[in-house]
Amino acid sequence: MNDIRPIRKAVFPVAGLGTRFLPATKVMPKEMLPINDRPLIQHVFEEAREAGIEEFIFVTGRYKEMLEEHFDFQPELEQTLEARGKTDMLQKVRDSEIPAGRLFLTRQPRPLGLGHAVWCAKKLVGDEPFAVLLPDDIIQNPTGCLQQMIETYNEKGGNVVAVKNIAREDTGKYGILDIDKDDGHTVSVKGLVEKPEPAKAPSTLSIIGRYILQPEVFEYLDAFETGAGNEIQLTDAMARLLGRQQFHGLRFDGNHFDCGSRLGFIEANIAYGLADLDIGADVEKIVRGHAGNFE
């Protein structure tokens, strides 16, 4: 049976504490930190919009109101930009608005883990397949990562995760795949382990923060079982779906930046700065200048 229903909804878990960026994230949500001219959350929102997502579900928490404000209509700002003839900026501001009836909010009262954050969206997702995008993971590519995954999903159905190869010594930081078949582009998955020790990791292919999931995953998240780090892990619930449903990993095209870490965040800012038509050449001069200081 290959019942391929369209992916119309995306869940954005944004209720984490962002402790790796303290004190920057004492009051400001981590997901509002900017990569070049737009915050992390807008990068992933745009990726989802380009992939045809119609409903955007934010799982927010305390001190996270700024995230929903960011996507709202800002009349005074728009009027001022219009009066000053700043049409480019006005366009950028308008483009960051989520149209009426498309943004849905739910709250995760305590950051009990990614699996729990996704569970909080259960009612809003309902009985249909959906996407999950983590704003920590930014992928720079002309065709967005979620779009690539939807293409794989339209072919294979079931569940699809974005994957990339990592160094074996780093397996303890990620969800890792146990691979059944691998054609170099798509892998079929027979097992999933969250944060295994390097010696016990079944492969070095790690899941990064993009998922297409079938609604049955909620049956397992309902159990509220804790796993690695004493958190309710999404990977553990997905692992239980294996055998019952198809699971594929997609080696996506594009540069991936782990913006949940300070190093990945800085690297992403350099990469997006270099790719920016207005400032790219100057960013390159700056980077080369600094590199020269260390030679």
Of the ranges 111-119, 144-152, 153-161, 220-228, which one interacts with ligand UTP (CB under 6 A)?
Answer: 111-119
Q: Cβ of residue 269: shortest distance to ligand UTP, in angstroms?
A: 17
Q: Cβ of residue 193: shortest distance to ligand UTP, in angstroms?
A: 17
Among 32, 33, 114, 150, binds ligand UTP (CB under 6 A): 114
H or E element, residue 268: helix 262-275
Residue of 158, 261, 165, 266 whose CA lies nearest to 208: 165
Number of residues lying near ligand UTP (CB under 6 A): 22
Residue of 109, 97, 116, 95 whose CA lies nearest to 217: 116
- Cα–Cα dist 98/96, whole Å: 7
Does 158 bind ligand UTP (CB under 6 A)? Our answer is no
Does 134 bind ligand UTP (CB under 6 A)? Our answer is yes
User: Binding mask 58-97 vs ligand UTP (x if CB under 6 A, - otherwise)?
Assistant: -x--------------------------------------
Q: Cβ of residue 175: shortest distance to ligand UTP, in angstroms?
A: 12
- Show the tokens assigned to 252: 């996506």
Does 260 bind ligand UTP (CB under 6 A)? Our answer is yes
User: Binding mask 41-60 vs ligand UTP (x if CB under 6 A, - otherwise)?
Assistant: ------------------x-
- Show the tokens assigned to 78: 């728009």
DSSP structure class, residue 245: B
**Structural contact between residues 209 and 229, judged by C-beta atoms closer than 8 angstroms:** no
| Beta carbons within 8 Å of 143's beta carbon, 6+ residues apart | 253
Of the ranges 16-24, 69-77, 213-221, 237-245, which one interacts with ligand UTP (CB under 6 A)?
Answer: 16-24
Among 30, 43, 210, 256, binds ligand UTP (CB under 6 A): 30
**For the residues of 192-235, what is the DSSP string, one character each?**
EEES--GGG-S-SEEEEEEEEE-TTHHHHHTT----GGGS--HH
Question: Binding residues for ligand UTP, per CB under 6 A?
Answer: 13-20, 30-31, 59, 108, 111-114, 116-117, 134-136, 260
